[in-house]
Structure 1
């Protein structure tokens, strides 16, 4: 099948499953990628072309994520129809996931290390009653990484005798390839138990309440960030969780383990910068 016929077939599939606006966006995104590929066979395309496409593009972050979603959707379509073999599709999928990780990492480096309470309220209010509210709450009160979230299942959660909810991350789920226990914690005891009750109810139907594809989650989050005028990424929830641990007085070696940092130096250099507010709280607690 030649390029034009394959694209036409993909377009028909899009029109059956996506909104009119998404169809137009995806078609334009793929056409942009194909112009970069040139005359090369799109079925046998070198996956590294995706790297060069992103590297030479003038697109903003949100647009890059959208284009990657379109490219991945096209090649998944081609794979399922038998036009692309499993090895080629796996290579393409792997490259796209790596680029998405890089984009997310760059965003988190630009964005504030933690969200304010007002920003958190505004973000959660904007997604209230949706699956994204549940996902954001999970990220905010556990500090897990996106890659860890993608591997989570209901049986990774357990509640101890004190009522505290924990997440057990197995070695193959973590960046360090080391098992890690993560407590679900808020900034106060009351907030912690209130969030625990909500999460326990949602976890009973885990896939229904929490399962979203990486690309969809990243694109939605970037668009919401622009719409609200709040510079945040999924990684901002992790920064907020870790910052709350630090402000609550947890020692660096404990925060290191909860966060899954490879070295306590990372924890200290990024999160334990001197804060007059934190110092005041520690002194007040000492004098009680």
Structure 2
């Protein structure tokens, strides 16, 4: 008589966990291996019993997150909550549209199922709408940051953006350098309403927010320098002060004699008196200035005009980088290269014009 053999069902691999242990720094720690990965849970509770409860709660939360979370929209929302306090409001405004578009496209997909090919198709399709290289690059960067966060939180092992290529042939947007006529308008209109703002931008190269945050205490007339150490940003029209986000942002720039004459005697915020201007007040002031002076350049173009002054004065790129507050040397070199290429074009046009005039005389 044949005996039946009992077949044991394979057990599902369980998560292994160690006992909770006290650490030298006073905290308690417990290690648990989940899906082959060691995950550590920490508690600052003072008693062992309270620490155990705290860690048990953390483990339940983690298990629930792993079970439900892996959808892109959930991970993206977690990244936003974690990231938004670490960056400026203005930076987030630049991310917001790309974040929203990514969530609309990948929202219900599980992050561990999104492959490089999926991201490549998304980026290629986005670029096909005529966006500039810089815009497409920003869209990819936002996606990459979300996936980096997913790696950090244990949702995935690799970033699918790593191998994605930005399509070739996209336009590279460069701001036109202000011409000589525009620069002369800025100089001539210094005494117009808000003309000093444009004049100061031209001869310091400060960013708009840096100049709006400038006070009389930042100006050293004796040493002939302006201390750049803060900036204004706006939330719902109201000004807020922030410190530079990089070491390069905190710097001293030259106080030229022509500018010192105009700034002497100012008190408080140079543009705003007892407090910085609101965003709407700034826009109205600039629009009025543009109407009265005929100046058509933007504040940021005047920053590039200052870079042109540095270029013409023979200031080397490294020194220009310090004066402009660029954290990346390449940014300064790109501006200098743009200036050089623009000058070559102007030189060609001048030479071509002279040659045409000479040929005209010979023919007569």
Name which one, 1 or 2, has greater alpha-carbon Rg.
Answer: 2
Higher strand share: 2
Higher helix share: 1
Of structures 1 and 2, the one scoring higher in RCO (CA 8 A, sep 6+) is 1
